[in-house]
Amino acid sequence: SQTIHQWPATLVQPVGSPLSLECTVEGTSNPNLYWYRQAAGRGLQLLFYSVGIGQISSEVPQNLSASRPQDRQFILSSKKLLLSDSGFYLCAFGRTEAFFGQGTRLTVV
């Protein structure tokens, strides 16, 4: 069966520190992969999506970046976190629909 793993579940990071969130998918090949962010009480903002290894489409210009070093691995990074980067980060996969991981709740302090 297809599964998605996203970690960590919660993270508290100081302003200016780096960030690396990882997402891996099992049970499928060549999925579309997505990173979303959800601010408190708000909808899902699409940050990045990828249709294949090394192919990244960026939706929002900011201090975040994404990489897809392997077919089923998607990484969200930042060199220096801002307070405004706090939120609920969600990775999703799928070819038609999107199925979500459990999310990472990031608090930048």
Partner 1 sequence: QKEVEQNSGPLSVPEGAIASLNCTYSDRGSQSFFWYRQYSGKSPELIMFIYSNGDKEDGRFTAQLNKASQYVSLLIRDSQPSDSATYLCAVKGGSSASKIIFGSGTRLSIRP
Site residues, partner 1 (CB under 8 A): 32, 34, 36, 42-44, 46, 49, 51, 57, 59, 90, 92, 96-103
Total residue count of the chain as it appears in this document: 109
Query: From the CB of 49, what's the least distance to partner 1, in Å?
Result: 6
Residue 35 phi, psi dihedral angles, 5° rounding = -120, 130
Query: From the CB of 3, what's the least distance to partner 1, in Å?
Result: 13
The residue among 15 and 59 lying less far from partner 1, judged by its C-beta, is: 59
Q: How far does Cα 108 stand from its chain's mean position? A: 16
Q: How far does Cα 92 stand from its chain's mean position? A: 8
Taking alpha carbons only, the member of 46, 51, 29, 28 closest to residue 91 is 46
The residue among 42 and 80 lying less far from partner 1, judged by its C-beta, is: 42
Query: From the CB of 79, what's the least distance to partner 1, in Å?
Result: 26
The residue among 17 and 57 lying less far from partner 1, judged by its C-beta, is: 57
The residue among 40 and 83 lying less far from partner 1, judged by its C-beta, is: 40
How far is it, in rounded angstroms, from Cα 85 to Cα 20? 13
